A and B are shown apart, each in its own frame.
Chain A
Amino acid sequence: MTKSVRKTRLLGSSLAFIVIAIALVWTLYPLLWVVLSSFKPEQDQFAVPPVWLGSEVTLANYYQFFHNSSFLKALVNSTVITLSSTLLSLALGIPTAYGISRFKMRHKDAISIGVLTIRMLPPIVMVLPIFLLARMFRLLDTYTVMIVVGAFFSIPFVIWMMRGFFDEIPPELEEAAMVDGSSRTYAMCRVILPLTAPGIAATSVLTALVVWNEFLYALVLTGTNTRTLPVLVNSFVSEKAVSWGVMSAAGVVTALPLVLFALMIQKHLIRGLTAGSIK
């Protein structure tokens, strides 16, 4: 290896190191600020100049958050809506993904494009008619409408992600089972699904992430009974009287569970997000 090559290697490494350092600071600065604020006592929130660490580390903000009935209710609402939507979209999306992966069809491209269209649809187009329809059927401020809508916009993720997992499994496996005379449904449930269990887990996390973070539909379709965490967080942002510490705690509680889950499946995340075009 020549000297100059080694020199460029070294230069490349140090450049990479600098880039990574900047990226880390850029990413962590806002996150740390909110996380640390959630442990700061009230009086330190307004310190000038701003302080990173308060005079003491306190759990008071979290205590207040968990003892506030509207926060707690929103936490429950978000959980119910997220879990139900995820279940529904898996139940509807997995067979579809399996079908697209296995069956020979003339309109496969059309179906793919249709699913892509739905994934790309700007929510602002749909939120008004869905609001008016839900109003007509008296479904506003119910879990039902949120679950139905949540499943609607997360099924495309399920289809993309699961289709990739099904494609990886050789069709001979269930064909062998089907030769025994069992139906395809049976073969899929008994043979294929267990093999894709990790894929299903990853898909559920992605679906849950999408539903949990959703804001526009929730803002319009929920009421006092079904308000989700993002809507609640929003409703306190503009309030001067509300404590930034409690808000930060609310932000951390809203973000943390999904961050942990999503990081666990990050290597699968990309498939669901890019229509399987990148693995």
Chain B
Amino acid sequence: MKSPSAIRSRLTLVALAVAVLLMLTLTVIPATATTKVTLVSEYGTHTEAWKTEMDAFEKQSGIDLELTQIPYANYFDQLTLNFTGNVGNYDVVYISGLWYPAFANAGYIAPLDDLSDSINVSDIPGIENAYQKGKLYIIPYMNELGGIVYRKDLFDDPDEKAAFKKKYGYELQPPRTLKQYQDIAEFFNRPPKLYGVTLMGRRSIFLATHFMNRLWAHGGQLLDSNMRPAFNSPAGVQALKEAREMFKYANPAAKNYDFQEAVTEFTMGRSAMAELWTTSLLYADDPAKSKIVGKASFVGFPRPDENLGKKLPMLYISWGFAIAQSAKDKDAAKEWVKYVTSKDAEVRAAVHGNIPARYSSLGDPKLQAKFPWLKAFKEAMEQGIPTPMVPLIPEGSALVNQYLVPAVATFMTDANADAKKVLDEAANGVTELMRAGGYYK
């Protein structure tokens, strides 16, 4: 029989071996010789578009790119977790323009001011939304506007035109005023085959856009210059009532729609108009998904008669590239951002499903030939004040999602709700939120 101490030492040896093995598995980190830049994005048409430029960049620069894609529903959470945990998995992040202020403020993404000359910022509409405290943090890659997408074929149909004129006493054309918008929605509302307008009624930020569109059209705003809530103004009350009114001309199922379902209804040819944003035109022109290829166009959001011709805020959605503060090789990361946001790369990628950010790309004749509605889009962009649907402060998302969305949803589902009251309650909540954020002295 072996002595106990021998056994113990053998045991210790085994334990040591296991420990060493464990340590080895923990420390196997692939050594890389070439410069590598890690990218992160969601799965979406614009990401699929710029992905097509990755190979060419790698060849040209000798920099390796590695892309991680996370489904949209989890993207923000996962990315924020990665940032707040200081994990530093990603060098270049492709994010919504609504998210970057929080990241910038917390120091998770780096300022890019040294890029502003080489990328010619004046060519990018809405670039003023890319600055925090005077510093540039995000280079917009995709820009879009909220408004009305409509069925050109229906609007141009001579029979429809005649019938409309007979009923309403004026020509059928894409709506410029809120009154026209409502008339046209009523006119085309022929359930169950065709609905007047597609709306998004699910309790989400999408529902809130219907309120914001109207708030801005009436000259209102979410926050005033002192960062006090201002959406419970008469303009807000009016906007909330009008938004509910519009659901009369929508599919009853729309009360539960979010963006994806709304786009599907429109691209299946089941509505004459949809209150969405320009990306939906990319879906409409995709033969694999759409029954209305080439039949859809765009018009900016209508206003009340008295506000026609004014330069008002318009719902603006932008996605772009930012660079993580933790990026190991910021210069390499910047090379990629410069490359992919250049006019040529934007135009090349756009045909794969993106609305490019730059005026110069939007004006590109070949691109306009492929997407005729780009002209109307460019015009609308020039005439409105691109305004993000969430104020660009760290509290912005909470403001809309935690206070505004519930208020709008309550008013939509509860026929007895008082518009002024629900907005006042939300405004009180927002005041608290802003106070906690240190905005008021």
Q: Do chains A and B touch in the complex (CB under 8 A)?
A: yes
- Residues of chain A touching chain B, judged by Cβ–Cβ distance below 8 Å, are 70, 80, 84, 87, 91, 131, 134-135, 138, 140-144, 147, 180, 182-183, 185-186, 189-190, 220, 223-225, 234-236, 238-242
Task: Tell me which of B7, B73, B89 contacts A186 (CB under 8 A).
Answer: B7
User: Given known contacts A143-B26, A180-B1, A239-B73, is B87 in contact with A185 (CB within 8 Å)?
Assistant: no
A187's nearest neighbour on chain B, judged by CB, is: B4
B43's nearest neighbour on chain A, judged by CB, is: A241
Task: Tell me which of B1, B68, B86, B260 contacts A182 (CB under 8 A).
Answer: B1
A143's nearest neighbour on chain B, judged by CB, is: B26
Residues B89 and A141 in contact, CB atoms below 8 Å apart: yes
Residues B87 and A223 in contact, CB atoms below 8 Å apart: yes
Chain B, interface size: which category? Answer: 20 to 34
Residues B85 and A140 in contact, CB atoms below 8 Å apart: yes
Q: Please name 29 pairs of A and B residues whose Cβ atoms are closer than 8 Å in the assembled complex, sorted by A.
A: A87-B18, A91-B15, A134-B85, A140-B85, A140-B86, A141-B82, A141-B85, A141-B87, A142-B26, A144-B26, A180-B1, A182-B1, A182-B4, A183-B4, A183-B8, A189-B7, A220-B81, A223-B89, A224-B68, A224-B90, A234-B74, A235-B71, A235-B74, A235-B78, A236-B71, A238-B72, A239-B71, A239-B72, A239-B73
Minimum C-beta distance from B266 to chain A (A): 16
Residues B85 and A135 in contact, CB atoms below 8 Å apart: yes
Residues A80 and B25 in contact, CB atoms below 8 Å apart: yes
- Cβ contacts under 8 Å, B260 to chain A: 240
Minimum C-beta distance from A180 to chain B (A): 7
- Cβ contacts under 8 Å, A180 to chain B: 1
Minimum C-beta distance from B54 to chain A (A): 16
Minimum C-beta distance from B438 to chain A (A): 22
Interface centre among A180, A185, A224 (most CB of B within 10 A): A224
Given contacts A84-B25, A185-B11, list 18 more A-B pairs with CB under 8 A: A91-B15, A91-B18, A134-B85, A135-B84, A135-B86, A140-B85, A141-B82, A143-B26, A147-B22, A182-B4, A183-B8, A186-B8, A220-B81, A234-B74, A235-B70, A235-B74, A239-B72, A241-B43
B22's nearest neighbour on chain A, judged by CB, is: A84
Interface of B is mostly: helix
B73's nearest neighbour on chain A, judged by CB, is: A238
Residue-by-residue, is B152-170 near A (CB-CB < 8 Å gives 1, otherwise 0)?
0000000000000000000
Interface centre among B18, B72, B73, B90 (most CB of A within 10 A): B73
- Cβ contacts under 8 Å, B7 to chain A: 185-186, 189-190
B66's nearest neighbour on chain A, judged by CB, is: A224
Minimum C-beta distance from A246 to chain B (A): 13
- What is the CA–CA distance of A139 and B18 in the complex, to the nearest angstrom? 21
In B13-59, the 8 Å CB interface with A consists of 15, 18, 22, 25-26, 43
Residues A238 and B26 in contact, CB atoms below 8 Å apart: no
In B81-105, the 8 Å CB interface with A consists of 81-82, 84-87, 89-90
Residue-by-residue, is B352-374 near A (CB-CB < 8 Å gives 1, otherwise 0)?
00000000000000000000000
- Cβ contacts under 8 Å, B18 to chain A: 87, 91
- What is the CA–CA distance of A11 and B25 in the complex, to the nearest angstrom? 60
Residues B11 and A189 in contact, CB atoms below 8 Å apart: yes
Minimum C-beta distance from B395 to chain A (A): 21
A138's nearest neighbour on chain B, judged by CB, is: B86
- What is the CA–CA distance of A224 and B72 in the complex, to the nearest angstrom? 16
- What is the CA–CA distance of A220 and B18 in the complex, to the nearest angstrom? 27
Minimum C-beta distance from B405 to chain A (A): 18
Minimum C-beta distance from B10 to chain A (A): 9
Residues A143 and B11 in contact, CB atoms below 8 Å apart: no
Minimum C-beta distance from B44 to chain A (A): 9
- Cβ contacts under 8 Å, A186 to chain B: 4, 7-8
- What is the CA–CA distance of A234 and B7 in the complex, to the nearest angstrom? 47
Minimum C-beta distance from A89 to chain B (A): 13
A225's nearest neighbour on chain B, judged by CB, is: B89
- Cβ contacts under 8 Å, B74 to chain A: 234-235, 238
- Cβ contacts under 8 Å, B68 to chain A: 70, 224
- Cβ contacts under 8 Å, A87 to chain B: 18
Residues B70 and A223 in contact, CB atoms below 8 Å apart: no
- Cβ contacts under 8 Å, A220 to chain B: 81
Minimum C-beta distance from B280 to chain A (A): 15
